Amino acid sequence: MRRALLVAALVALAVPAVASAHATLRFTTPTFGHELQRGPTRVVLHFDQAVRVVPSSIKVLNGVGDQFALSTHVAGQDVVARVAPLKLGAYTVRWRAISADSHVVSGVWTFGVRVPAPPVADAYGAGGPTVAEHVVRWAWFLGLALAIGSLGFRVICLRGLAVPRVLERKIAVASGLGVVITIHAGIVAFSLRAEDALQLPFGDFLYGDLSPMAATRFGRAFVVMTLGFALVLALVYLSWLLDRSDLLVPAFALSVLFAGGLSWSGHDALDPGSSWKTAIADWVHIAAASVWIGGLATMAGLLWYGAPELRRSAFANFSRMATVLIALVLGAGSYLSIARLPHLSDLWTQGYGRVLLVKVGLVCLALAWGAFHHFVIRPALDRADAGFLARIGRSLVGESLVGVAVLLVAAVLVDSKPPIRGSDQPHGGVATTLRP
Amino acid sequence: MLPHAEMVHWAFASGILFVGLCLLCEAIVGQEVWRMRPWRKYLWPGVAFSMGVLLWPVMAFFTNSSIHMYAHGSWAEVLMLAGGAELGLVHGRLKSPLWRLTWPIAFAVTGLAFIVHEQNPWFFARSAFLHHLLGWTFLLGAIVPLALVWRPRSAALQACMAFTIVAVAVMLFTDRDVAPVFGHLSPLAGPEHR
Give tens-digit pLDDT for A344-355.
788 888 888 888
Residue A123 maps to a domain: no
How many residue pairs bridge chain A and chain B with CB atoms within 8 Å of each other?
A: 149
Listed in sequence order, the residues at least 6 apart from A168 whose beta carbon sits closer than 8 Å to its beta carbon are: A154, A240, A243, A245
Q: What is the pLDDT of residue A116?
A: 85
Distance between A306 CA and the closest CA of chain B, angstroms: 20
CATH number at residue A110: 2.60.40.1220
Whether residues A102 and A171 share a domain: the answer is no
DSSP letter at A63? T
Concatenate the DSSP letters of all residues of A294-333 into one string.
HHHHHIIIIIHHH-GGGHHHHHHHHHHHHHHHHHHHHHHH
* Range of the structural domain that residue A74 is part of: 25-118
pLDDT (0 to 100) of residue A290: 93
Q: How many domains, in total, are found in chain A?
A: 2
- Do you find a cis peptide bond into B97, omega within 30 degrees of 0? no
Q: Is A103 at the interface with chain B, CB within 8 A?
A: yes
Question: Do A322 and A404 fall into the same domain?
Answer: yes
> Which of B22, B53, B61, B64 to substitute to test the interface with A, most A CBs within 10 Å?
B64
Computed over every residue of chain A, the mean pLDDT equals 82
- What average pLDDT does range B1-26 have in this prediction? 87
The backbone torsions φ and ψ at residue A207, rounded to the nearest 5 degrees and listed phi first, read -110, 10
**Is the pLDDT higher at A123 or at A172?**
A172
Helix (H, G, I), strand (E, B) or coil at A102: coil
Q: Are residues A384 and A243 in the same domain?
A: yes
* Residue B151: strand, helix, or coil: coil
pLDDT at A433: 46
Residues A109 and A172 reside in one and the same domain = no
Report how far apart, in Å, the C-alpha atoms of B3 and of each of A9, A173, A383, B62 are.
19, 36, 65, 11
Query: Angle A276-298/A165-198 helices, nearest 10 degrees?
Result: 140
Chain B: residue nearest A215 by CA? B63
Q: Which residue of A has its CA nearest to B49?
A: A234
pLDDT in tens, A214-250: 888 888 899 999 999 999 999 999 999 999 999 999 9
Chain A environment of B117 (Cβ under 8 Å): 21
CA distance A406 to A260: 19
A interface test, pick of B54, B66, B175 with most A CB neighbours within 10 Å = B66
Could you give the 3-state DSSP secondary structure of residue A351?
Answer: helix
A356 with A333: CB under 8 angstroms? no
Looking at the fold, whether A159 and A203 belong to one and the same domain comes out as yes
Q: Does A237 touch chain B (CB under 8 A)?
A: yes
pLDDT in tens, A267-322: 666 666 678 888 899 999 999 999 999 999 999 999 888 888 888 889 889 988 98
Identify whether residues A257 and A286 lie together within a single domain. yes
Q: For chain B, give every domain's residue range.
A: 17-181
Contact B64 A13 (CB under 8 A): no
Give the pTM: 0.81
CA distance to partner chain A, nearest, from residue B191 (Å)? 8
- A213 contacts chain B (CB < 8 A): yes
CA distance A205 to chain B (A): 7
Distance from CA of A12 to the nearest CA of B (A): 6
A208:B66 CB<8 A:
yes
- For residue A425, what are the contacts with CB-CB under 8 A and spacing of at least 6? A272
B window 150-179, beta carbon within 8 A of A: 176
Do A253 and A108 fall within a single domain?
A: no
Candidate from B64, B120, B188 with C-beta closest to A20: B64
* Listed residues A68, A89, A118: the one ending a domain: A118
- At A254 the pLDDT is 96
* C-alpha span between B3 and A54 (Å, rounded): 29
Q: What are the start-end ranges of the H helices in chain B? A: 5-29, 31-34, 40-61, 66-91, 102-117, 126-141, 143-150, 155-175
Interface check for A210 against chain B (CB to CB < 8 A): the answer is yes
Q: Which of residues 2-31 of A touch B (CB under 8 A)?
A: 9-10, 12-22, 24-25
Residue A231 and residue B127: Cβ atoms within 8 Å?
A: no
The DSSP 8-state label assigned to residue B64 in this structure reads: S
Query: Which one of A45, A101, A238 makes the best mutation probe of the B interface by having the most chain B beta carbons within 10 Å?
Result: A101
Band of residue B176 on the pLDDT scale cut at 50, 70, 90: low
Of all residues in chain B, the one with the smallest CA distance to A16 is: B58
Interchain contact, B66 vs A103, CB within 8 Å: no
Is there a contact between A18 and B119 if contact means CB atoms under 8 Å apart? no
One domain for residues A54 and A187: no
Q: Which tens digit of pLDDT belongs to each residue from A34-67? A: 889 888 988 999 887 778 787 778 889 988 888 8
Whether A172 and A283 map to the same domain: the answer is: yes
Same domain, A197 and A237: yes
Q: Is B132 on the interface with A (CB under 8 A)?
A: no
Residue A191 shares a structural domain with residue A327? yes
Q: Does B12 touch chain A (CB under 8 A)?
A: yes
pLDDT, position A14: 43
| pLDDT at B192 > cutoff 60 | no
A126 occurs within a structural domain: no
Is the pLDDT reported for residue B140 higher than 90? Answer: yes
Facing A18 at nearest CB: one of B8, B15, B119:
B8
In a domain, A87, yes or no: yes
Sheet-wide strand order for A42-47: A25-29, A42-47, A78-83, A69-75
Task: Say whether B51 and A191 touch across the interface (CB within 8 A).
Answer: no
Taking the Cβ of residue B38 and every Cβ of chain A, the question of whether any pair is shorter than 8 Å is answered with: no
Give the separation between CA B141 and CA B111, rounded to whole angstroms. Answer: 9
Same domain, A197 and A166: yes
Q: Are A400 and A58 in contact (CB under 8 A)?
A: no
Longest dimension (CA), chain B: 55
A53 vs B168, more confident: B168
Smallest CA-to-CA distance from B75 within B104, B111, B22 is with: B111
What tens digit of pLDDT does each residue of A134-163 get? 888 889 999 999 999 999 999 999 998 889
User: What's the mean pLDDT in B85-89?
Assistant: 95
Give me the mean pLDDT over the B180-190 stretch: 55
Top-confidence range, A29-33, A116-120, A308-312, B31-35:
B31-35
* Any A CB within 8 A of B128 CB: yes
- B64/A227 Cβ within 8 A: no
How many C-alpha atoms does B77 have within 13 Å on its Cβ side?
A: 20
Evaluate whether residue A114 is within a structural domain: yes
CB A105 within 8 A of CB A96: yes
In A, which residues are within 8 Å of B60 by CB distance?
222-223, 226-227
Q: Write the pLDDT tens digit of every residue in A386-432.
A: 778 778 888 888 888 888 888 888 888 877 777 765 544 333 333 34
* Closest chain B CA to residue A203: B67
Query: Does residue A89 sit in helix, strand or coil?
Result: strand
